[in-house]
Structure 1
Amino acid sequence: MNDEYVGRRIIRMIVGSIILGFGIALAICSTQGGDAISVFSEGVSILIGTSIGNATVLFYFIWIPLAFVFYRDQLGIGTIASPVIASITLDATILYGWQTLYALPHLVAMGLGIVCIGIGLGVYVSANMGRSSYDAIIGGLSNKLGIPIWLSKSGCDVILCVIGFLLGGTVGLGPICGIICIGPVLQFTLQTITKKDQKTITT
C-alpha cells in the first residue's frame, strides 16, 4: 500500500466528514430538525448543557466499546477522527454561518442538509479508514441480518429519534425525511464511488 493511496484515503475521510458536519448544520438551521443523531445529540445537549457538536462526539465515543466488541473489524483511525472533524464543522458552521443558513428557505436547507449528510457518510465510509462507532454497528447489523445497509440505518435512526425527542430534541420534517432518504443516498454514494474505484484499478 503506497503513500499516495493512503493519502487519498485520508483526504477522502476528511472531506466526507466535513460534508457530513455541514449537512447536519444545514438541517438544524432549517428549523425542521436534523438527522436522527442530531435530534438525539440536541436532546443530550439540552440535558447536560453543551453544544450539539460536543454532544455528538460524546454520542459516538459512548458506542466505541460496543462496536469494538462486536464489529472491531470496521474500526480504525476514522472511528475517532471523523466524528471529531464533523462535530467541529457542525459547531463552526452554526456559530459563524447561522444567519446566512437561516435565511435560506427552510425546506431547501433541510433537503440540501439531508443530501449532504448521506453523501458525506458515503464518502468517508468509502475511504475505509474505519467507520464511526455508530456506523460500524449499523454495518455490522446489516451484515449479520443480511439486510441492506439503508434498512439497518433507518431502523436504528428511528430509535434515536424517539429517544432524542423524549430528551427535548427537535423533531420535524428533517428527521422524518432523514430516516427515509439518508440511507439510500449513503448507499448510492458508496456504490458510485466503488464503481469509480474499480474502473480506476482496471484502467
Structure 2
Amino acid sequence: MKRELKWKWLFFFVGLAVMSFGVSMIVEGKALGVGPWDVLHIALFERIGLSIGSWAVITGVIIVGSTSLLLREWPKLATCLNMILCGMFIDFFNWLLPNSSGLVFDVFYFLAGVIVLGVGCALYISPRLGAGPRDTLMILFAKKFGCSIGNARLAMEALIALVGWSLGGPIGVGTIIIAFFTGYIVQFSLPYFERMLKGRINNEGRTNNLTNQDIDHLAKEI
C-alpha cells in the first residue's frame, strides 16, 4: 500500500506541474484566447492586481468552500493541494517562460499549451486521488440539474468565460478550441498513464518480492 501511494502521489504532483505549465503557455499565447477560467483570472489580475496564479487559488478557495458547505463534507486532501499548487506553479511558469514577441510565438505557445494542458490533466487524474475544485463543482452542477457532466462543464465554463470577458478578459477562438479539444486529449492520454502507473506499482512489487526471496535464501545458506 505504501509503495502504491508513493507512485500515485508522484503522478499526481507531476501531473499538476505539467498541467500548470500548459496553462502558462496558453496565457503567454493569449492573443488567441485562453481557457474559460483563465479569462476570469486574467481579468481579475488586470483589474485588481495580485497575480494570475493568486486568483486561481482564490477562486479555488471560494469553490471548495461553497461545495463543501453544499455537500456537508470536508474536501479531500488532493482537492486542496490541487487548489494551492496549481496557482503556485502557474505563477512560477509565467515568470520563467519568455514573453511572446509576435503572432507566430502566440500560435506556438497556444497550440503547445493545449496539448501539454491535456496531457497534464490526464497525468494528475490517473491516480484517482480526488478531483480539482472546478471538477468538483462541475460534478455537483450535473447532479443538481440532472444533466450530463459534459453538458454541465460546457454550461459552467461558458458562464465563467462570459463573466471574465465582461470584466475585460481575453476571449477568442482559442477559448473555444480549449473547451472542445482538451477533453479529447485527456481521453486519449488517460489510459496510457493509468497503464504506466499500474506497471510502475507492479514492477516495484515484483522487485521487492525478489529481494525478500534472496534474503531468505541467503539466511538459509548461513
Question: Please, what TM-score do these two structures have when normalized by structure 2?
Answer: 0.77
In structure 1, stretches of 5+ residues that fail to align are: none
Alpha-carbon distance between aligned partners in 1 of 2:92 and 2:130, rounded to the nearest angstrom? 24
Alpha-carbon distance between aligned partners in 2 of 1:192 and 1:141, rounded to the nearest angstrom? 29
Alpha-carbon distance between aligned partners in 1 of 2:73 and 2:198, rounded to the nearest angstrom? 22
Question: Aligned residue for 2:47?
Answer: 47
Alpha-carbon distance between aligned partners in 2 of 1:113 and 1:171, rounded to the nearest angstrom? 16
Deviation digits for residues 25-56 of structure 1, max 9, x if unmatched? 11011132321111111112123211000011
Partner-residue secondary structure (3-state), 1:128: coil
Partner-residue secondary structure (3-state), 1:174: helix
Alpha-carbon distance between aligned partners in 1 of 2:160 and 2:81, rounded to the nearest angstrom? 22
Q: Report the Cα offset of residue 13 of structure 1.
A: 1.2
Question: Aligned residue for 2:210?
Answer: none
In structure 2, stretches of 5+ residues that fail to align are: 204-222
- Please say which of residues 24-33 and 49-58 is displaced more in the overlay: 24-33
Give the aligned length: 200
Alpha-carbon distance between aligned partners in 2 of 1:139 and 1:81, rounded to the nearest angstrom? 19
Alpha-carbon distance between aligned partners in 1 of 2:93 and 2:127, rounded to the nearest angstrom? 24
Aligned AA (1:57): V
Question: Aligned residue for 1:6?
Answer: 5
Deviation digits for residues 129-155 of structure 1, max 9, x if unmatched? 2222211122344566362x4443232
Aligned AA (1:55): W
Aligned AA (1:181): F
- Please say which of residues 48-57 and 170-179 is displaced more in the overlay: 170-179
Computing the radius of gyration from Cα coordinates, the structure with the larger value is 2
Question: Aligned residue for 1:106?
Answer: 106
Alpha-carbon distance between aligned partners in 2 of 1:102 and 1:139, rounded to the nearest angstrom? 39
